[in-house]
Chains A and B, each alone.
Chain A
Amino acid sequence: MSLSRLLERLLQLIPVLLGVSAIAFLMMALTPGDPVQIMIGDQSITPEQEAELRRGLGLDRPLLERFFIFLRNALQFDFGTSFYHRRPVSDVIAERLPATIELSLVALIVALVTAIPLGVLAAIRKNSILDRLATVGSLLGVSLPGFWFGILLIMLFAVHLQILPVSGRIGYSSEVPTITGFLLIDTLLHRDLAAFGDALRHILLPAITLGLPMTAILMRVTRASMLEVLRQDYVTFAEAKGLSRRRVLFRHALKNALIPTVSVAAIETGSLLGGNMIVEAVFGWPGLGRLVVESIFLRNYPLVQAAVLLYAVTYVLLNFVADILYTILNPRVKL
């Protein structure tokens, strides 16, 4: 891909982000529910004190003015102060983001390492018992709701077998000074193997729960595209040449069969970030998803707006990455 094409793609981001900002702002502002009333709750307050609280949050200004203030500040990467945390929204989000990214990446890895071999096996043993099991399994994988499957895993592995913890990122005997924010990496950088194992034990169940629907989808995609590729002439030709079955499958067929898998994986990673909200709540995972859900209910406008923008940017960038990967894997495709 040429540099000018890359720049053009990046420039296309600008109207998208402006649109998303406007939608995020308006959706929050127009949703019924008054942040000040929610904050006061059942506690007593005089009208003057209520007005003072509203002024402090900047909610006494007209909607349009608030929107322009929001836009002006957002352009300078200032997303305002969280109504509840009373700190810059960017700080609050930055604290939670590594946990979410780490969980998403591990879920992605779990999905890739299970889905690809299963998909390939199902394709080369088409209509075998294994293929049917994998098909039924993938159907279950996409249909099982995460909150239910997660609780099931907790009951089995944490409550009955007691081999994995119910929730959290790491135990409290470990203290891991932050370097990257990713505990699996930080523990290794500190050469603290016990803490690494502890972090691994904590991330297993949430990663499996989060990765399950993706595993199912990727397996289906891999199986279908592998079947497609195996029907191609060049595969038949390679077999006719007398190459070993293994060599034909892994050297010739798999490389091409993985192209759709990779691009679907890149796009689905965006939905992993969204699926996090439920999985994070079930496993008490201190990530961004939970924070955003809590903030929506509390009408914590600045935090929700910033998070929606962040999600949008991530999603657009992942699509972009998928496109680039596609051109690398399949040079015939030009952007």
Chain B
Amino acid sequence: MNALPRLLLATALATSPALMPAAVAAEDLIIGFTLDADTLDPANHRKRETETVIRNIYDGLLTRDPDMRVVPEIAESMTQVSPTIYDFKIRSGIKFHDGTDMTAEDVKFSLDRVTVEGAMGDGQTSPRQGLMGPVASVEIVDGDTVRITLKEPWPILPAMLPNQQIVSKAFVEANGTAGMATMTNGTGPFKLGEWRKGDAIILQRFDDYYGGAPDIEPVGAACVDRAIFKIIPESASRVAALLAGDVHIINELPTFSIAQVKANAGTDVMTVNGTRSFFLAMNMQGEVFDDLKVRQAAAHAIDKNLIIDRILDGTAARIEGILSPDAFGASELPAVAYDPEKAKALLAEAGYPDGIAITMDTEGAFKDTAEAIASMLTNAGIRTTVAVGESAQLTEKWRTAGKPKSGDMYFSSWGNGSLDPFDIFTPTHKTNDRGNSAGYANPALDTLLDSAAIEMDVDKRAAMYREAELMINADQPYVYLWVPQDIYGVSKKLSGWKPSADSRINLHDACIN
């Protein structure tokens, strides 16, 4: 019987030096990140987190600077020849990670792989095809110029191109789409070291990097030797990892942890304006919210500033229309004042002197905020019960694309990564469109949105979207609430890195001191 304790003791002693914390190499930059990449193939995924990782390995024709301006990257310049033709002159001297030269042929191949039906092999089309709009063809017009021809004008092509990355034609042909899922050969600042699935993606500096977009300083190879995306899905654990010094950047810092991270000596909080607009959709096909006065009553009942200050800790910008303040075409709009008495009066005018009782659908993650909104609505005579549902189910219930729907009110949001109104205005407000959860139908607005989508004159286009904003501001199919900031926790050892509004974490310029 004494053998076992002795064995255990011996094992403990033998391994005790090994039990000391392993020293983290000083130059490793570690990001505590919410989700693992699904795949490392730039053309074969449909997830923002996957793109965030891939973007450090593969560069695109165009990219965005931290202020969200679209700037050339692999392209040296872009020329719009006509409303449907764009020319991209390709920079020379760019190398893939395997040492081969990148050419216009690779660019054409990469874009074809995304846009041509069945181009992924096995009869499969890239799931990213929809992000490239109505592309008719991609041609090489003279040695180093690639021409994209559209079937119809689509002014947001430059805003959408940063979503596509350039792959090596020879590499894809050698390894196939199956191989591309786990093997990489990009032109980006980092090459793949090791992918420990579900645990970490270890990236190594690519020393022959051409430097990236000249408009984004500094230009050159990446600062750190290794950058590691460490997957920590649970937010409390991500915060703990930052506080413990295990990681240098964490994404999706919860608002309730901001004070803790700021109070800790070695860490700080960084924020950037987000691109996701939050709103309350009111079912205009329903019994009560088909009346403008009831919708206006709901808008007057909510004290947005109070919620932004108290629940969101000041990390959101209020909106009066669907567009975020940073989006193209955003402008100052008439604000709906917080006035519960006026809300009650409007309800009475609409024939509900005793108020109404409604249910508000929301996802679990937004329950606290939804409860706060519900109590404000209740105070103003709109007695609101919050019903928590799962995202996929609520989407099916509310985003019916024109089919009849049940439900009164839906606390929800729509993202606008391109910061172009086309991407958010049309789906949420055009009659019967995918994201029109209010069931709003306004033929005048539909016509305006259709023309604005293809208007090439920038000033005219902005004016059109202002007119559209004024229309929805008056019709109030939604109560437009706020655009939350993206919140990051960072180590004070980190320098050179700034969060960007499209939620990407570009590590090229990040250094560890």
Partner-B contacts on A (CB < 8 A): 31-34, 37-46, 49-50, 52-53, 56, 82, 84-87, 92, 95-96, 99, 147, 150-151, 154-155, 158-159, 162-163, 165-169, 171-175, 193-198, 200-201, 250, 281-284, 286-287, 290-291, 294, 297, 299
Contacts and interface: CB of A to CB of B under 8 A. Distances in A.
Contacts of B127: 39, 53, 56
B44 interface: yes
B21 A163 contact: yes
B293 to A, nearest CB: 30
A171 B202 CA distance: 11
A286 B196 contact: yes
B427 A44 contact: yes
B197 A286 contact: yes
Contacts of B392: 31-34, 37-38, 297, 299
B274 to A, nearest CB: 12
A130 to B, nearest CB: 19
B422 A194 contact: no
A174 B391 CA distance: 39
A45 B243 CA distance: 41
B390 A297 contact: yes
Interface string B176-196: 011001100000000000101
Contacts of B434: 37, 40, 45
Contacts of A53: 125, 127, 129-130
Given A34-B392, A56-B124, A194-B18, 8 more contacts: A32-B392, A33-B395, A37-B395, A193-B15, A195-B18, A200-B18, A200-B19, A294-B233
Query: Top 6 nearest A-B pairs by Cβ distance?
Result: A197-B18, A33-B392, A286-B198, A45-B130, A286-B199, A284-B232
Contacts of A40: 46, 130, 434
B395 A166 contact: no
Given A87-B39, A196-B18, A290-B233, A42 B198 contact: no
A49 B134 CA distance: 10
Contacts of B259: none
Contacts of A147: 234
A171 B15 CA distance: 16
B202 to A, nearest CB: 6
B130 A43 contact: yes
A158 B24 CA distance: 15
Given A87-B39, A172-B202, A291-B198, A166 B237 contact: yes
B23 interface: yes
A44 B423 contact: yes
Contacts of A86: 38-39, 41, 44-45, 177, 181
Interface string B111-140: 000000100000111010111011000000
A273 to B, nearest CB: 16
A99 B236 CA distance: 22
A175 B19 CA distance: 17
B197 A95 contact: yes
B195 to A, nearest CB: 10
A173 B426 CA distance: 49
Nearest to B413: A42
B198 A166 contact: no
B416 A42 contact: yes
Contacts of B17: 193, 197
B181 A200 contact: no
Contacts of B200: 168, 172
A159 B264 CA distance: 11
A50 B46 CA distance: 13
Nearest to A166: B241
A173 B129 contact: no
Interface string B89-128: 0000000000000000000000000000100000111010
A41 B199 contact: no
Interface string B17-36: 11111111100101000011
Interface of B: 1, 14-25, 28, 30, 35-36, 38-39, 41, 44-47, 117, 123-125, 127, 129-131, 133-134, 177-178, 181-182, 194, 196-200, 202, 226, 228, 230-234, 236-237, 240-241, 243-246, 276, 390-393, 395-397, 399, 414-417, 422-424, 426-427, 434-435
29 contacts: A33-B390, A37-B434, A38-B395, A39-B127, A42-B276, A42-B415, A42-B423, A44-B427, A46-B130, A53-B125, A99-B199, A151-B236, A154-B236, A159-B243, A165-B246, A166-B232, A172-B30, A172-B200, A197-B17, A197-B20, A198-B22, A201-B21, A282-B237, A283-B237, A286-B199, A287-B198, A290-B233, A294-B35, A299-B392
B512 to A, nearest CB: 14
A171 B22 contact: yes
B240 A158 contact: yes
Contact of B234 (A34, A169, A193, A281): A281
A42 B178 contact: no
Nearest to A96: B198
A82 B36 CA distance: 15
Given A43-B131, A96-B198, A162-B244, A34 B415 contact: no
B138 to A, nearest CB: 17
A173 B23 contact: yes
Contacts of B36: 286
A169 B199 contact: yes
A53 B123 CA distance: 11
B117 A172 contact: no
Given A44-B426, A290-B233, A33 B130 contact: no
A96 B417 CA distance: 32
A49 B435 CA distance: 16
Given A40-B46, A158-B240, A281 B246 contact: no
A297 B22 contact: no
Nearest to A291: B198
Given A87-B39, A166-B237, A172-B202, A197 B130 contact: no
Given A38-B395, A172-B202, A197-B19, A167 B435 contact: no
Contacts of B399: 37
Given A32-B396, A284-B231, A50 B44 contact: no
A159 B260 CA distance: 12
A94 to B, nearest CB: 10
Given A32-B392, A95-B198, A286-B198, A42 B240 contact: no
